[in-house]
Amino acid sequence: MVDGSAPRRSERLADEEELLRRYHRTRDPAVREELVARFMPLARSLANRYAGGSEPTEDLHQVASLGLVKAIDGFDPTLGHSFASYAAPTILGELKRHFRDRSRQVHMPRGLQERIALIERAIDELPTELGYQPSAAQVAERVGLSVEEVLEAMEAASARHTYSLEASVSADDEEGARLGDTIGEIDPGYSTVEFGEAISRTIASLSERERMILHLRFVEDLTQSEIAKRVGISQMHVSRLLRRALDQVRRQVPRAEDG
């Protein structure tokens, strides 16, 4: 009995190679759609390696499909490589990037993520070549960015992960101070607001002349003699009104604090 599967497989491969060459020449969307349909089983089989975890299989298939499209767009059939050997790393790279992006608590724009990856790769490679840790300028020269862009990306990279305020400050001290204990401080502005609210209610209960005298003394910073001339009363009268208004404020503010 003659097995016809081998010729059929050869015909299918030849057909796929012709489609890849045609798309490389024409960039015809219809041809790309046909190629996606032909190679979708490959993309799904690679995505299924990661199935069973926290990510829905359907989402993994979508990510793998994106990688497949990128592989089709980037493949050059004139180089003589098989498409499957080119597409598999591209699709797996897209899947790994997806998991890396999802694992970060702080999400960053894709462009910044790619810049960080480029810089981190240079930082890993340069010490072997140089024999010492590279400077920011040397990293910038390697990746083709400015020093400012490298420093900005490195600073962003350090902020990719968040930390719990309940985390222990020292790894050896489980019962000691927590991270939340080391940041922040008591803001004196809160008590200022409370006193301000209490004082404003008390001042509202004063007479118009008493409010004016307080304003002239503590806002415009006039002396008692200057206030007397402005209001048209004696300096002694100003002193009595000022003392009476201040006594009333002092009596009322503690009650506002308690209540």
Q: Per residue in 201-242, pLDDT tens?
A: 777 778 888 888 888 888 888 899 899 998 889 889 888 888
182 in any annotated domain: no
Residues 58, 96, single domain; the answer is yes
The pLDDT assigned to 109 comes to 74
132 close to 121: Cβ distance less than 8 angstroms: no
Q: Which of 85, 103, 121 is the last residue of a domain?
A: 103
> Does residue 115 share a domain with residue 87?
no
**CATH number, position 147:** 1.10.10.10
Cβ-count burial of 46 within 10 angstroms (0-12 exposed, 13-18 middle, 19+ buried)? Answer: buried
Which letter, b or e, does each residue of 9-39 get, where b requires 16 or more Cβ atoms within 10 Å of its Cβ? eeeeeeebeebbebbeeeeeeebbebbeebb
Give the pLDDT score at 47.
92
- Two tokens, residue 183: 């940041």
pLDDT for residue 195 is more than 70 = no
Q: Based on the domain organization, do 88 and 112 belong to the same domain?
A: no
112 and 90 both lie in a single domain: no
Instruction: Determine the Cα–Cα distance for residues 224 and 44; give it in Å rounded to an integer.
Output: 88
Domain termination residue (choose one: 75, 103, 131): 103
Percent above pLDDT 70 for the chain? 74
Model confidence band, residue 156 (pLDDT cutoffs 50, 70, 90): confident
Residue 196 sits in the same domain as residue 157: no
Is residue 236 a part of any domain in this protein?
A: yes
Domain co-membership, 35 together with 98 = yes
Looking at the structure, tell me whether residues 48 and 94 fall in a common domain: yes
Report yes or no on 61 lying in a domain: yes
Q: Are both 75 and 18 inside the same structural domain?
A: yes
Both 62 and 125 in one domain: the answer is: no
Of the residues 103, 126, 141, the one at which a domain ends: 103
Cα(214)–Cα(245) distance, integer angstroms: 8
Q: Is residue 14 part of a domain?
A: yes
Please give the C-alpha separations between residue 233 and each of 124, 167, 172, 209, 224, in angstroms, as whole numbers.
83, 66, 73, 11, 10
Q: Containing domain of residue 112, as a range?
A: 105-161
- Residue 69 inside a domain? The answer is yes
Tell me, what CATH number does 56's domain have?
A: 1.10.1740.10
- Residue 40, SS3 per DSSP: helix
Domain co-membership, 24 together with 87: yes
Q: Is residue 145 part of a domain?
A: yes
pLDDT at 38: 94
- Tokens 């083709």, located at residue: 144
- Please list the residues that pair with 178 across neighbouring strands: 168
Alpha carbons within 13 A on the beta-carbon side of 49 = 14
Q: Cα–chain-centroid distance for residue 259?
A: 43
Confidence band for 2, pLDDT divided at 50, 70 and 90: very low
- Looking at the structure, tell me whether residues 80 and 127 fall in a common domain: no
**122 and 92 belong to one structural domain:** no
138 belongs to a structural domain: yes
Count of the separate structural domains present in the chain: 3
In a domain, 170, yes or no: no
